[in-house]
Structure 1
């Protein structure tokens, strides 16, 4: 059974960078069995109803501005997997989760920036899934849990977002780590490793510096989605954590 993973995707330019985190991601594929397909929740695809991509081949969405020209030349023409999209539709229905298929949308940078580093040849089929910031944290977890059986079919499930992701507080001049960001991530690490879902579902009230770390929740949601897929064994492992710009957390979590 393939574990599920959460990857922070940082800034879109991460796909061009050379640092400890990008080196980790580039080496990641060698650490797992090559999956038959990838199911990915991106923080940058928000829908009021759970939406499942069902395209033949993805176009690349450049959902950002002001970055280096080279970034806009990158493409990630992964294929979809219609049968898997329809299976996910059925799984959601089985668990009382309303969902629809989308046959148009391409891959946003929350998806392709990470996938380009893991599988640069775009040779693994992808099914992209949306997020909904207005659901409860427990509902997010349950959406992930509904997909857990896909892991037994050599499907790699990824949540792409960020744990500490506050663009207004970025410090472009420092190489240090802001104490508040590390404090939040340390709290989060403890609750994930002990699988304290009650604390995690109420992180806004319980975690230190939650408002600073998670000013809006769309980047945090993919962590709960990925975690939910591991509800059977409830084992979480931090594989990497580093920071950019003082407090932009670049982390990878594994859920077994």
Structure 2
């Protein structure tokens, strides 16, 4: 049995603030809200707020300036080099992607996805599955799950490719706003169906990047399971040493 471990509160707050820097809510050179304002806005304790700000300063997103408070530096060079699968999933235009839509249907919600979406395990959710190819070879299987409330009034249930990203589509039609993404990376053996779509031999592992996309309140809007054949991937990250 797999257990979901939520990220610490200070990490979730840091991710939210980072997202607001990236979308221009807090532009470079501006001051971020004071500790007191952040405590009131997010309902978190001062130590949690302080720790989140320290994390962003350490990673180069923020800096302290005497007499000015905490200032936004913008996206650090290290972050520019980091692959953000969640952003790719949300912003990818299906009709321009090098792949095909292989499945769109209502399915029983997988237990792990039910916990993340906050829906009953007996619920039905919409599955929208996209297979990405490169040089004629499948390199990614992206399975997005949407609760019923997010599907009504959208084109997510249609079998036609979307001419815009999932985020843009939902924000325009459901009047929601995506605020932050949490990614959880693990390795597993794919199902027979998944292995077949990825043209993998039985028993070969995949990297699973579970993308949880939320609004500012932390409510999950969609969950996407991105499968990458392990033998076709190389992960690299550059980071500072304290």
Question: TM > 0.5 between the two?
Answer: no
Higher relative contact order (CA closer than 8 Å, sequence separation 6+): 1
Relative to its length, the structure with more helix (as a share) is 1
Give 1 or 2: higher strand fraction.
2
Structure showing greater radius of gyration is 2
